[in-house]
């Protein structure tokens, strides 16, 4: 059991590092725009390139993890991540930066399915949902705290954050070679194999469809908010990378603390669906408020609280899906990743186009998308029949 805890901790650290790479670029984007003379639309594509590569590679990497093993895919992914970050640090042309972000997406595509499968291998039905919740938190924390670390390190040089991340990736790869042991695997049943052929049918099932749609909506809102935050405050208020780091890192810490303190209590009081609805309401209001605040303190306050909404939403929807998924945990994890990636692609691309028209437009659009999600939750009902079936099957958590 102690070995499994060490293994889980190392797996979560690897995921955190991989998704840290997405956010590191954000505080230095204004400087890169000036250096390379690029537009908001190009920045959007640059940000989205990571998610596009991840989305394309993930299905193939998942099959490779089944064929060749979890450990080898994680280790290769971490070394590719290290190379991609170092390439970004040395890159002086836009084309090189795009290659770097594509390699970063490939690395995440290698790491995430292998880690998800690894966690499923070393957990039981009783503790798998909790472990998957930790996995979601590691991803979210890496994505959110990346800009803060990038901003602080950028004080020593615009490219320093990427050299740091590259070294971190190589170190994690070496640590994984030394400490990870290939897990034993549960044999796939004929029933599970047959279910794999009905993925689309399961995707459109009412119990899943709204949850997956909301994952896309919330991830879209977060991607649009965070991807252009540095450009927004740079153009509107003249923020330096260190200012951006303080605001984003503070927001990430505040959101993470609120999640630890409030999530369990609020879930018990409201249940997942109501908590998701209220989190989206809070997020929509605060994303819109970003366009009307003017003082440094008000920007700080809004950013701190907006992360509370996003940080409560993610574990709530993950918990909901884990509770209703039964023996479809792999399917749910894959779809969660896919819809998050789709949002991480479309959010920055549309945000970049809107940013070039008016710097407030990405936030207006993100707020509208989140409002659409709030409306969807009004028609969302928990599938009680599924829980009854699970009780009979003896697979419910209780």
The pair of structure tokens assigned to 282 is 């809070």
Q: What are the Cα distances from residue 26, in Å, to 4, 29, 43, 148, 152? A: 35, 5, 10, 9, 12
Using pLDDT thresholds of 50, 70 and 90, give the confidence band for residue 185: low
Q: What crossing angle do the helices spanning 329-357 and 361-377 adopt, rounded to 10°?
A: 140
The pair of structure tokens assigned to 344 is 């991480």
The pLDDT tens digits of the residues spanning 9-41 come to 888 888 888 778 767 777 777 777 778 888 878
Backbone CA torsion sign across 247, 251, 254, 257: negative
Distance CA 68, CA 301 (A): 48
27 touches 189 (CB < 8 A): no
Distance CA 156, CA 315 (A): 35
Across the chain, what does the average pLDDT equal?
79
Using pLDDT thresholds of 50, 70 and 90, give the confidence band for residue 102: very high
pTM value is 0.70
Place of tokens 């790869």: 173
Q: Give the rounded percent of residues in the chain with a pLDDT score beyond 70.
A: 85
Query: What is the DSSP secondary-structure string of 1-22?
Result: -HHHHHHHHHHHHHHHHHHHHH
What's the pLDDT at 396? 42
152 or 331: whose pLDDT is higher?
Answer: 152
Phi and psi torsions of 37, nearest 5°: 65, 40
What's the pLDDT at 330? 62
Q: Is the pLDDT of residue 77 over 90?
A: yes
Using pLDDT thresholds of 50, 70 and 90, give the confidence band for residue 386: very low
What helix, strand, coil percent values describe the chain, rounded to 5? 85, 0, 15
What's the pLDDT at 1? 52
Second-level CATH architecture of 2-182+200-389: Up-down Bundle (1.20)
- Taking residues 315-324, what's their average pLDDT? 76
The pair of structure tokens assigned to 37 is 């003379």
CA angle 227, 291, 249 (to 5 degrees): 45
Q: Domain locations in the chain?
A: 2-182+200-389
What's the pLDDT at 329? 62
Q: Is the pLDDT of residue 397 over 60?
A: no
Phi and psi torsions of 395, nearest 5°: -110, 0
State which H helix or E strand residue 382 sits in.
none
Using pLDDT thresholds of 50, 70 and 90, give the confidence band for residue 199: low
What's the pLDDT at 80? 95
Distance CA 8, CA 17 (A): 14
299 or 322: whose pLDDT is higher?
Answer: 299
The pLDDT tens digits of the residues spanning 34-66 come to 788 888 788 788 878 888 888 888 878 878 888
Task: Of 31-45, 206-220, 287-301, give the range with the top mean pLDDT.
Answer: 287-301
Q: Could you tell me which of 36, 30, 21, 20 has the C-alpha nearest to residue 244?
A: 30
Q: Is the pLDDT of residue 126 over 50?
A: yes
Place of tokens 């909301």: 214
Indicate the burial class of 98 (C-beta count within 10 angstroms; 0-12, 13-18, 19 or more).
middle
- Taking residues 169-189, what's their average pLDDT? 78
């Amino acid at each position: 059991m102690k070995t499994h805890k060490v293994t889980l901790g190392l797996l979560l650290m690897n995921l955190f590092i991989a998704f840290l790479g997405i956010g590191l670029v954000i505080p230095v984007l204004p400087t890169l725009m000036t250096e390379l003379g690029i537009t908001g639309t190009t920045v959007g594509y640059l940000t989205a390139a990571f998610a596009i590569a991840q989305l394309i590679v993930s299905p193939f990497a998942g099959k490779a993890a089944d064929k060749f093993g979890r450990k080898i895919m994680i280790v290769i992914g971490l070394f590719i991540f290290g190379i991609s970050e170092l390439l970004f640090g040395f890159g002086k042309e836009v084309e090189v930066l795009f290659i770097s972000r594509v390699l970063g997406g490939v690395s995440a595509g290698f790491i995430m399915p292998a880690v998800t499968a690894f966690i499923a291998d070393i957990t039981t039905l009783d503790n798998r949902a909790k472990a998957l919740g930790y996995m979601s938190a590691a991803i979210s924390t890496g994505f959110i705290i990346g800009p803060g670390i990038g901003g602080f390190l950028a004080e020593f040089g615009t490219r320093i954050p990427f050299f740091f991340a590259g070294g971190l990736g190589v170190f994690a790869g070496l640590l994984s070679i030394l400490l990870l042991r290939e897990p034993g695997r549960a044999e796939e049943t004929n029933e599970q194999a047959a279910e794999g052929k009905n993925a689309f049918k399961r995707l459109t099932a009412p119990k899943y469809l709204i949850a997956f749609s909301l994952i896309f909506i919330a991830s879209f809102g977060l991607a649009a908010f965070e991807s252009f935050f540095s450009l927004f405050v740079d153009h509107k208020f003249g923020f330096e990378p260190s200012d951006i780091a303080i605001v984003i890192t503070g927001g990430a810490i505040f959101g993470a603390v609120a999640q630890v303190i409030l999530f369990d209590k609020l879930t018990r009081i409201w249940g997942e669906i109501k908590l998701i609805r209220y989190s989206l309401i809070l997020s929509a209001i605060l994303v819109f408020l970003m366009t009307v605040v003017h003082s440094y303190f008000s920007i700080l306050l809004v950013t701190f609280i907006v992360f509370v909404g996003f940080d409560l939403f993610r574990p709530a929807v993950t918990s909901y899906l884990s509770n209703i998924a039964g023996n479809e945990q792999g399917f749910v994890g894959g779809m969660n990743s896919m819809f998050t990636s789709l949002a991480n692609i479309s959010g920055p691309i549309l945000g970049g186009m809107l940013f070039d028209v008016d710097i407030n437009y990405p936030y207006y659009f993100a707020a509208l998308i989140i409002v659409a999600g709030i409306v969807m939750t009004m028609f969302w009902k928990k599938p009680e029949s599924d829980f009854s079936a699970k009780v009979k099957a003896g697979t419910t958590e209780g």
